[in-house]
A and B are shown apart, each in its own frame.
Chain A
Amino acid sequence: AQTVTQSQPEMSVQEAETVTLSCTYDTSESDYYLFWYKQPPSRQMILVIRQEAYKQQNATENRFSVNFQKAAKSFSLKISDSQLGDAAMYFCAYRSASGNQFYFGTGTSLTVIP
């Protein structure tokens, strides 16, 4: 079974600074999709960014970007110009193109320091 590992249970960043959250995954498949989800204290999980494994170009959504290293099976999330509203639990997730279940990491709790 696929596994998703987030080795940083907690991270903190100064407001306006940049932070990178790490995620590694284990799979034998070649076609898959990776996601970062954000879960603020109110508990509603929302999608931050997604990456298709067949695309070499790293996905970017405003202040959020990923560093996708397929050979290393690494998928890190960079948050630039951190804002107080970025404080949340961040989950990395994997899903194969064949449509099997989503696999989630254990999450990284991000604190933004004013």
Chain B
Amino acid sequence: KAGVTQTPRYLIKTRGQQVTLSCSPISGHRSVSWYQQTPGQGLQFLFEYFSETQRNKGNFPGRFSGRQFSNSRSEMNVSTLELGDSALYLCASSYAIGIYEQYFGPGTRLTVT
């Protein structure tokens, strides 16, 4: 069974631009979560989607948004990029909300200049 895939793997943007990252979960998984990972802050939860609905949300500004499609694929969007948005963005999928462990993708490395 294929793992979680994320595209693109690397991205360079300039301040003020917007970016969209994509995540395809493991087949059969209906929950997708997004995390921002930085050396200083560690792994910070952005949001979680299940059945096309946002179920949980972390403490990030409204510039960070996401959505999930009917095939469980998910996208996250960051508008008006800031230098501090430079990070590794990880997507994780699980079978459903609740007790199920998450399986992570390789991440998208975003650099904002």
Chain A, interface SS category: loop
Interface residues of B, Cβ cutoff 8 Å to A: 33, 35, 42-43, 45, 48, 55-56, 58, 88, 90, 92, 97-99, 101-107
Chain B, interface SS category: strand
Instruction: Check B101–A101 contact: CB distance below 8 A.
Output: no
Tell me the complex Cα distance, A95–B102, Å. 11
- Given the interface pairs A43-B88, A47-B101, the reply to whether A101 lies near B106 with Cβ below 8 Å is no
A-B contacts, CB under 8 A, total: 50
Q: Which residues of B contact A45 (CB under 8 A)?
A: 90, 92, 104
Q: Which of A61-69, A70-78, A102-110 is found at the contact surface with chain B?
A: A102-110
- Would you list which residues of chain A between 81 and 105 have a CB under 8 Å from chain B? 91, 95, 97-105
Q: Which residues of A contact B101 (CB under 8 A)?
A: 33, 35, 47, 50
